[in-house]
Amino acid sequence: MTRTIIEGGYVTTVAGSEFDGGHVVFEDERIVAVGPGAAPAPWREGAAVVDARGCLVTPGLINTHHHLYQWLTRGYAQDSILFDWLTSLYPLWARIDAGLVGSGAAGAMAVLARSGCSTVGDHHYVFPRGGGDLVGAIVEASARIGVRLHATRGSMDRGQSQGGLPPDFAVESTDAALRASQEAVERYHDRSFDSMVRVAVAPCSPFSVTEDLLREAAVLARSLDVRLHTHASETAEEDEYCLATFGKTPTDHLGDLGWLGEDVWMAHAVRLDPAGIARYAETGTGVAHCPSSNARLAAGIAPVHDMLKAGVPVGLGVDGSASNESGQLGPEIREAVLMNRLRTGSDSFSVRDGLRIATIGGARLLGREAEIGSLEVGKLADIAVWRIDGVEHAGLLDPVAALGLASMPPVARLFVNGRSVVEDGMLVTAEEPVIAAEVAAASRELAGRL
């Protein structure tokens, strides 16, 4: 058994307690003690000690929505709104394969880990014919970096000839998408408490998926006892599309097809109206809030304050790196705080609200609030240690404001499942220059396939 003590820092458990100069102790992958002051003597014998003086200690951050493969297509369609951005990039994305996806995913997850992210939720929905095992490539990349993965097997079956947005060559048949979704769950989903890989079923969006696929995917996921994920209520154009095509709002359309419930989380929900918020709250449907991506695509500011007030579960997300080129989760806390204050007032969304949705809020969306998302005895040792004694943060009155208002602090240590993944701001599980070279080569190769 390996025991590690983190002590001397400002510990915020996100479970109601904060300790200035507190300690966290974990043995192998489980937290065994949290509290004020130095760790008690019985824990010290044989323990490795991390000196966290001058640091903020939080749970590892949880990214509830991403498209990892998009790390290879950053900087495209820089001034486009969502629908134009998608149509610009679909032809490129439709030429990916497992090798390229693995390289892009490794690059994206390396950057996520360096921004304090211990759990990565990925939504992959483009599966070109002959592209190989793309979900498997993402799983392998997560093991290489050392982060916890929640992969979703996405799909699209409504091409342009059926009134959808993606070109026909970028979609699958309904039956093929359902078969592949089941195979991904059966091959990679691990239900154990300390699981490093779980899989959800995730048709892409109302404007790229038929009613049949949405309905049958919900049935399939529940028969397999896994979660459901999709995009919803992201833009005004999506609202218009759903009203024109289905005669319903996105919320009513998805609700009629079985897509509201405690096992469902939606990405964005920027356009969720009061009636939609009420339905989400009544059913326990969650939302992945992606503030930077929503700004990049001029989609708007999601009504997160109203969602939380109503009881809607909310987590935080980076979204695809082609619409959030930084690819970091840590700064999204600040973006969430600032944008939601801009929408509803300076006292409507605190820095601790931002940290909460980035940790325990995300854990709830993924169905893992008993395992991760807060620093509590019995939970898994996913822990971020942020250095806040440098010139950027020295003298800051509230340590948590280093994440919610100031520039993102450097990550002194990141532990995932008790394993050290980042030390002194650098990835220690893989060689960063090697990953960077692979990403650059893969980006060039993909661009050359057009």
Strands 411-416 and 419-423: antiparallel
Token pair listed for 27: 């043995």
Same-domain check for residues 310 and 403: no
Q: For residue 357, which of 372, 336, 376, 343 has the smallest C-alpha distance?
A: 336
Residues 6+ apart with CB under 8 A from 359: 14, 58, 59, 60, 61, 62, 373, 374
Same-domain check for residues 213 and 291: yes
Q: For residue 126, which of 257, 366, 269, 320 has the smallest C-alpha distance?
A: 320
Domain boundary among 316, 345, 365: 365
Tell me the residue type at 20: D
Burial class (CB in 10 A: 0-12, 13-18, 19+), 396: middle
Domain boundary among 317, 337, 365: 365
Same-domain check for residues 65 and 55: no
The answer to whether residue 445 sits within a structural domain is: no
**Residue 169: predicted pLDDT:** 87
pLDDT under 50: residue ranges of the chain: none
CATH number of 253's domain: 3.20.20.140
Token pair listed for 161: 């000839």
Same-domain check for residues 48 and 141: no
Token pair listed for 275: 């009636």
The answer to whether residue 230 sits within a structural domain is: yes
Fill in the DSSP letter of residue 111. Answer: H
Same-domain check for residues 262 and 380: no
**Residue 101: predicted pLDDT:** 98
Same-domain check for residues 345 and 386: no
Distance CA 339, CA 214 (A): 32
Same-domain check for residues 55 and 65: no
Same-domain check for residues 32 and 166: no
Same-domain check for residues 17 and 146: no
**Residue 221: predicted pLDDT:** 98
Same-domain check for residues 348 and 417: no
The answer to whether residue 285 sits within a structural domain is: yes
Range of the domain at 245: 61-365
Same-domain check for residues 245 and 314: yes
Same-domain check for residues 53 and 84: no
Domain count, the chain: 2
CATH number of 35's domain: 2.30.40.10
The answer to whether residue 448 sits within a structural domain is: no
Asked whether 35 and 54 are in contact (CB, 8 A), the reply is: no
The answer to whether residue 191 sits within a structural domain is: yes
Domain boundary among 318, 349, 365: 365
The model's pTM is 0.98
The answer to whether residue 226 sits within a structural domain is: yes
Residues 6+ apart with CB under 8 A from 175: none
DSSP letters, 341-398, are HHHH-TTSS-HHHHHHIIIIIHHHHTT-TTTSSS--TTSB--EEEEE--STTTTT-S-
The answer to whether residue 322 sits within a structural domain is: yes
The answer to whether residue 73 sits within a structural domain is: yes
Q: For residue 316, which of 305, 298, 329 has the smallest C-alpha distance?
A: 329
Distance CA 59, CA 202 (A): 27
Residues 6+ apart with CB under 8 A from 309: none
